Chain A
Amino acid sequence: MSETILFYLFSVVAILASALVIGQRNPMYSIMLLIASFGALAALYIQLDAPFVAMAQIIVYAGAIMVLFLFVVMLLNAPQEDAAVWDRTHPLRRPGVARFGALLAGLLIVQLVWALVRVNDASTAVNARGDVAAISSVRTVGRVLFTDYMFAFEATSILILVAMVGAVVLAARETAS
């Protein structure tokens, strides 16, 4: 009973906060709401008996990545959006950009549906490795990550490395000129 109440509480917080993120005119508020949404998601993970994933969610997303977001917003001193002035010439408001965004959103929905349909197979695959308690253990997560999902894991790390090198190259070029 209390679990159901908590589930709905955190779900509502997560959905409401995410919706408000795009509703804010002040980027600072958007960031804070996004952190709240991540926190609520972490609480949902704990309810799913996955404390490790929950903590990773908070450390990586709410902790590290959002601090970087905050850092960038503070450094750029992003102005508040003004509702009265709808600037058609802004590079992010061109129709091509909007279509690209819509395409990405469509792809995301397709992926999500595909993943949700497959979710039963996936959970049995993890279940086959041991009892429920073992799923939540870091040991099991690590073993699955470094065997079944080895390629995805390594590919992701190389992707991040490439992005990092790219950022360094771009930053270095600016100081040289």
Chain B
Amino acid sequence: MDQATLRFAIQLGIIGLTFFMLINASALLVLAERKVMGFMQQRYGPYLVGPWGLLQPLADIVKLLFKEELRPKDADKWLFTLAPIISVTAAFAAFAAVPWGAETTLFGLLDTPVKLGVADVNVAVLVVFAITSMGVYGIVLAGWSSNSKYSLLGGLRSSAQMISYELAYATALASVIMLAGSLSLREVVDAQNGSWFGFIPKWYVFLQPVGFLIYVIAGVAETNRAPFDFPEAEQELVAGYNTEYSSVRFALFPQAEYINMTTMAAVATDLYLGGWHGIAILDRYGFGWVFFLAKVGFILFTYIWVRWTVPRYRYDQLMQFGWKWLFPAAVLNLIATAAAILYFNV
């Protein structure tokens, strides 16, 4: 096999691997969610299917596959079918621009190193942002097309919530982009290589603690997770936007949510936690991605942890918080960062 063919095969392999990891991430998160919840509520969580309940997600999927697929009589046929597809497609597509490892030659197999990640785009930050913002159409359309008041309320809440939080989210991102001087996630990650005084890693979380906090909070709101899970708030709206969905169509919504969470965590790792950098010995031998996975896992655990610790806000409190606190904080952070960059001439 010549180099070009080999390279092509390896690129395809990386794309397949990323896809496989994302699907598994959503399955594992379903299990992790219930295990962590069980632990926090002093019970076992799933433990009967497979060792330590590991096969529970599989059992869930099989159960959902055998359910009858229902569609309300007055639902909009096309949009009702389209909505879950949009959700899950946007969730998968957004990860395409996220790099998850350094360049590697696979132990000398290739002449020129290949980059770990589906696509290396020079405006990757914007690509991720643009595609994740497409995901909201899935939820809004699901809410509208179901022709049910609970679904409609869920969809409306989702679109209002997204508009309020995307501003703060994008403004927090802008500060990091200014620091790194690049819109490419790979370049942002590589700008965080090295350390200050030999022991503090040069991660942007230390330069941008406020930005990181805003990013994580807005990320929770973007992925519709508790305490900001208003689109589905089960005590108020039955199940929100997905009330009328069943079977596989229903399964696609939680899957999109978990994949979105993974993307959010991976981007947070790339932007603020130095991506795959931080442990020099792993970096040297090309195993930085292990550290990357560990960081993503930690952020995902924090998401679950927050969900089972903090009660849901009231809807108007959320909007107030988004517009009156989070967004001004993000703008102040942006101005302070810009001033610091000008002053210190970074």
Contacts and interface: CB of A to CB of B under 8 A. Distances in A.
Given A55-B123, A59-B129, A74-B156, A67 B162 contact: yes
Interface stretch (B30-38, B130-138, B248-256): B130-138
A139 B166 CA distance: 23
Interface residues of A, number: 20
The dominant DSSP class at the A interface is: helix
A29 B143 CA distance: 15
A137 B240 CA distance: 42
Interface in A9-49: 28-29, 32, 35
A56 B122 CA distance: 14
B192 to A, nearest CB: 20
Nearest to A137: B122
Given A28-B76, A64-B163, A67-B162, A74 B133 contact: no
B159 interface: yes
A29 B137 CA distance: 12
Contacts of A52: 123, 126, 183
A115 interface: no
Contacts of A29: 78-79
A65 to B, nearest CB: 10
Contacts of B163: 64, 67-68, 71
Contacts of A55: 123, 126-127, 129-130
A58 B160 CA distance: 18
A74 B140 contact: yes
A56 B127 CA distance: 9
Interface residues of B, number: 29
B79 A51 contact: no
Contacts of B96: none
A32 B76 CA distance: 13
A58 B155 CA distance: 21
Contacts, number: 68
Interface string A125-145: 000000000000010000000
A152 B311 CA distance: 47
Interface of B is mostly: helix
B121 A51 contact: yes
Nearest to A73: B144
B133 A63 contact: yes
B140 A67 contact: yes
Contacts of A51: 121-123, 126
Contact of A28 (B79, B121, B131): B79
Nearest to B129: A59
B134 A28 contact: no
Contacts of B133: 58-59, 63-64, 67
Nearest to A35: B137
A70 B144 CA distance: 10
A135 B143 CA distance: 42
A75 interface: yes
A71 B82 CA distance: 18
A58 B132 CA distance: 11
Contacts of A63: 130, 133-134, 166
A138 B130 contact: no
B326 interface: no
Given A67-B136, A67-B162, A71-B156, A58 B144 contact: no
In the complex, the 4 A-B pairs of residues with the closest C-beta atoms, listed nearest first: A55-B126, A63-B133, A58-B130, A59-B130
Interface of B: 76, 78-79, 82, 121-123, 126-127, 129-131, 133-134, 136-137, 140-141, 143-144, 152, 155-156, 159-160, 162-163, 166, 183
7 contacts: A28-B144, A55-B126, A56-B126, A63-B130, A64-B166, A68-B163, A74-B159
